[in-house]
Amino acid sequence: MNVSGRKLEFHSKACAYTFLRELIYSVPEDCVSSPLREIYSKREDILKQRAKKAEKKI
Looking at residue 55, what is its pLDDT? 84
- Backbone φ, ψ for residue 3 (5° rounding): -135, 125
The residues of the chain scoring below 50 in pLDDT are none
Is-contact 10 19, C-beta < 8 A?
yes
Query: pTM (2 decimals)?
Result: 0.62
Looking at residue 45, what is its pLDDT? 96
Looking at residue 3, what is its pLDDT? 85
Looking at residue 54, what is its pLDDT? 87
Is-contact 2 8, C-beta < 8 A?
yes
* 1: CB partners within 8 A, 6+ apart: 7, 8, 9
Report residue 41 CA to chain centroid gap: 11
Is-contact 21 14, C-beta < 8 A?
no
Looking at residue 12, what is its pLDDT? 95
